[in-house]
Structure 1
Amino acid sequence: MSGRSLPRFWKEAAMREVEGGFAVVLDDRPVKTPAKAPLVVPTASLAQAIAQEWDAQGDRVDPLSMPVTRGANAAIDKVSVQHAEVAEMLIAYGDSDLLCYRADSPMELVARQAEGWDPLLDWAAARYEARLHPRVGVMHAPQDAAALERLGAEVRAMTAFELAAFHDLVSISGSLVLALAVAEGHLSADQGWSLSRIDETWQQDQWGEDDEAVEMAEKKRVEFLRAHVFLGLCRV
């Protein structure tokens, strides 16, 4: 599916089980990705959600209204052909994880960060035997390589479809640990989003809202929640 608007040429979209998974057909014509690969996904739930997006189109196709389709296209055309590279890029976030970079003042912000982020670092230590350590300030200090390797094993084991969704959870939040917590259901997507915004929320509390920043944050929040939905559809 390209980025340009195309006229609707079908009456009904449907899901169909095929070899290797589930496909979406438009009046019996299989949907293909922008790279012309068959759009075959791992679960019936994901295929059904894609079919619903196509069915919801009006006289012309609006790609921006089809986030599940776009996610499936990305998984097939991009992530599947460079799975290792994408995984390693996301694993690298652990070495500079948002949760580990702390303020030294004011004390209210220091307390908010500790209250919100320390339990997640404790969770990762218990869940994966991967203890990441907080640092004060913004200068990079490497984390323990063995801990990063244990976190990395979880990422490398993801399918291309899971990794496509996980990419957004990590890149939007800035945290590998927080993204894993959301992916595993330890946090809800809303909780994860809020915890990723502790610094921004504190600044907003001090100085008030900036309309442009609020608008940008809302777009990121929507994408974060959509990534979580897509990940769930990949697994049921």
Structure 2
Amino acid sequence: MTEWKAKRFWDAVDVVPSERGGYSVLLDGRVVSTPGKLPLVLPTRALAEAVAAEWRAQEGELQPLTMPNTRSANSAVERVMPQHAEVCDMLAAYGETDLLCYRAPGPEALTRSQAEAWDPLLDWAESRYGARLVSIAGVLPVDQAPAALAALRAEVHRIEAFPLTALHDLITLTGSLVVGLAVAEGHISVNKGWDLSRIDEQWQISQWGEDDEEQRMADAKRAQLVHAASFWSLCFAE
């Protein structure tokens, strides 16, 4: 039996203010909903226009993989909104084992690269949030100061569902709460954030060479990170 696939059925795609606040995307006058049939209300016109552009670009069978803003918006409505506190707690917990806090015991060139790249961000987190995270050499757990973790947790909890959806990827793809927040706040670029999260991997490549499959996986992750940074920006654009 042939699987049914959704196909383009509309001509006009429009963005209009929603009676719920925010903006809706209309297909021939019908409001776009999430896959779970919930209203898709976007927080800014810029994000709504980005979602609308993805729907305008569809031809023939719908290609969800070419609609990253729509997919992220669906996730915000269906997954993040109903469990906002739980998502915040999960992301804040990255501060307990932040990538920037666990340094290689050697060789010296690698430890120096980590310190030069990561120490300034730990300093920034302290000045920006009053959260001083400590670093160690090795992988044994280090207990961070409760006050520092509480400050970072409070920062994450103040973020609303749509940008929190972006922050989720900024943190989980880099393995660092501090890097994710720094990219979100514009303290560093998304490309810089990616590079900071890949110091260990780049060291291994410099020593042993590049693996094609691992590089393809890394490229895919980087593309997701770039999208997350863009989605975050659209959540605050006019």
Normalization by structure 2: what TM-score? 0.96
Tell me what 2:31 maps to.
30
1:118 aligns with 2:119: yes
Q: Write the mapping of 1:51-200 to structure 2, written as runs, cut at 5 A.
A: 51-200=52-201
Whether the 8 Å contact between 1:21 and 1:43 is mirrored in structure 2 is yes
Q: Distance in 2 between matches of 1:47 and 1:162?
A: 14
1:79 to 1:111, Cα distance in 2 relative to 1, 3 A: same
* SS at structure 1 position matched to 2:173: helix
Question: How far apart are 1:34 and its partner, in Å?
Answer: 1.1
Please list every run of 5 or more consecutive structure 2 residues that lacks an aligned counterpart in the other structure.
none
- Deviation of the 1:69 alpha carbon: 0.2
Q: Secondary structure at the match of 1:80?
A: helix
- Per-residue CA deviation, residues 49-78 of structure 1 (Å, 9 max, x unaligned), is 000000001111100100000000000001
Q: What is the letter of the counterpart of residue 189 of structure 1?
A: V
Is contact 1:183-1:231 (8 Å) kept? yes
Count of equivalent residues: 233
- Aligned residues: percent identity? 54
Moved more, 11-20 or 219-228: 11-20
Q: TM-score, normalised by structure 1?
A: 0.97
**1:10 aligned partner:** 10
Instruction: Tell me if 1:212 matches 2:213.
Output: yes
Aligned residue number for residue 226 of structure 1: 227
Q: Give the superposed CA RMSD.
A: 0.8
Asked whether the 8 Å contact 1:121–1:131 carries over to 2, the reply is: yes
Matching residue's letter, 1:120 = L
Q: Is the 8 A contact 1:5 1:62 kept in 2?
A: no
- C-alpha contact 1:46 1:234 (8 A) present in aligned 2: yes
| Contact map agreement 1:121 1:132 (CA 8 A) in 2 | yes
Q: Any stretches of 5+ residues in structure 1 without a counterpart?
A: none
CA-CA distance at 1:132 after TM superposition: 0.2
Moved over 3 A (4+): none
Report how far residue 5 of structure 1 moved.
Answer: 4.0
The residue identity in structure 2 corresponding to 1:235 is F
SS in 1 for 2:82: coil
**Aligned equivalents of 2:163, 2:145: Cα separation in 1:** 26
Secondary structure of residue in 1 paired with 2:232: helix
Q: CA deviation at 1:144?
A: 0.8
- Aligned 8 A contact 1:49 1:68 in 2: yes
The letter of the residue matching 2:16 is R
**Partner SS state of residue 24, structure 1:** strand
For 2:72, give the aligned amino acid. Answer: G
| Whole-angstrom CA distance in 1 between matches of 2:5 and 2:82 | 27
Q: Deviations over 1:103-137 (max 9, x none)?
A: 11001100110010000000001111100000110
